[in-house]
Amino acid sequence: MQRNNMAEDSKDGTANPIIKITVRDIEDAVIQNAKVAVFLTSDRTEVLNTETDASGIATTTYAGPTPREVEIRCRKALSTDSPRYVNYSCIQTIQAGTGLDVEVTLIKDRNFNKMS
């Protein structure tokens, strides 16, 4: 899902696209502290590498050329995480006028979680 996401704080007065990744589970509950990374597919440059906040959101601005193809990776699967989720990745595009606004749905990993 993409929306108009532009930050008004670039040095040359033009707006920088905003990258926003929202992580939820299949029950539509936000997932806090999920690891989110965004890399340019062209050369693997890291654009974002952080954990989601209490609202399940990871965000940054992007100052490079657009449109630009990126790989998004999300995970919450460490041995200390409860519940654990299946890792997720996809390819998306940062657009000049809309930035990148993606909603990711993670699925609980049946191999590590007791399912009722």
Render pLDDT for 51-102 as a digit per residue (tens, 0 to 9): 999 999 999 999 999 999 999 999 998 777 788 999 999 999 999 989 999 9
Residue 58 falls within a domain, yes or no?
yes
User: Which domain does 32 fall in, by range?
Assistant: 6-106
Domain count, the chain: 1
> Would you state the pLDDT for residue 8?
46
Neighbours of 56 (CB within 10 A): 21
For strand 88-94 and strand 68-75, is the pairing parallel, antiparallel, or unpaired? Answer: antiparallel
Residue 102 falls within a domain, yes or no?
yes
Residue 76 falls within a domain, yes or no?
yes
Residue 21 falls within a domain, yes or no?
yes
106 vs 82 pLDDT, higher one:
106
Q: What is the DSSP letter of 108?
A: B
Share of the chain above pLDDT 70, in %: 84
Residue 111 falls within a domain, yes or no?
no
> Would you state the pLDDT for residue 3?
41
Length of the chain: 116
CATH of the domain at 94: 2.60.40.10
